[in-house]
Every structure is written in C-alpha cells, then in structure tokens.
A = this chain, B = another copy of it.
Amino acid sequence: MRHTYRCPLRWADMDAFGHVNNVVFLRYLEEARIDFMFRLAPGEGDASFKGGSVVARHEIDYKRQLVHRHEPVQIDLWVTRIGAASATIAYEVKDDDAVYVRASTVVVPFDFASGRPRRLSEGERAFLGVYFEEPEAAAA
C-alpha cells in the first residue's frame, strides 16, 4: 500500500531560476515523511518516531522541473526495507501526468535523551509492514 500526501507549495520555494529549488524537494519529502511517521504512525511519546528519528541517507533523482502553482503536488510514499534499527522509505513526487522526483531515505529511530539510535519496536515494524513493497530491480 502506498501513502499519498498532497504537499502544498510555497511561492518562495522557487529560486532565481524560477523553478522549485532542488533542495526544497527534500523539504517536501520531509513533510510527506512527517505526515507518515508523526501523524499516521501509532504511538506517542519518546518511544515513537515523533519522539525522535534521524535521516541516515537520501538518494534523489530529479526528472522534471516544477514551477509554483496554488495546487499541492502529490507525493506517494512507501517502504522498501525494514531493518533492525532503520527503514528505507521511497517516494514519487508527481502529478497525474508527470513525475518530478523519485527518491529514497534511510530513517533511523533515535533516542535524543541518550543520544543514541534505537531499534524499531514491534508496533513500528507492523506499521511499516503495511506499506512495504519489494524494491524494483531498477529502482531509482
């Protein structure tokens, strides 16, 4: 199953070249991830994604320029790997007829109190499992 987040743009997301700046797409991915991990995922408090998680890695491919408009852009998000202490999230930023960005992020749950990464809980693994898809052979 894929989670769909409709991400609002801001006018200032554009840079002097008049299109959405490449760095801002990572901000859009963060928003989609926060909607997924902080709002949709179960659990509150320190032992949850919301209590702390860090990014270990991003890969991002830019396919097409995006210019500011008043309508949100669609971000599809799913899970391609569930490890002991990390997971990989894949995304597609798109409209019905265009893909702007394909990307993936390795996320690590983190305990800010101890300053250390922590293992995924059973509940987190179950939640992530609902959105799991085998990565394609030629995934971005």
**Residues in A lying within 8 Å of B, measured CB to CB:** 8, 10-12, 14-18, 21-23, 26-27, 30-31, 34-35, 38-39, 52, 54-62, 65, 68, 70, 112
Contacts and interface: CB of A to CB of B under 8 A. Distances in A.
A29 to B, nearest CB: 8
Contacts of A60: 57-58
Identical copies in the complex: 4
A7 to B, nearest CB: 9
A22 B14 CA distance: 14
B27 A68 contact: no
9 contacts: A17-B54, A18-B112, A23-B30, A39-B70, A55-B62, A56-B62, A57-B59, A57-B61, A59-B59
B12 A27 contact: yes
Contact of A12 (B23, B52, B54, B61): B23
Contacts of A59: 57-59
Contacts of A27: 10, 12, 23
Contact of A61 (B18, B39, B54, B56): B56
Nearest to A15: B12
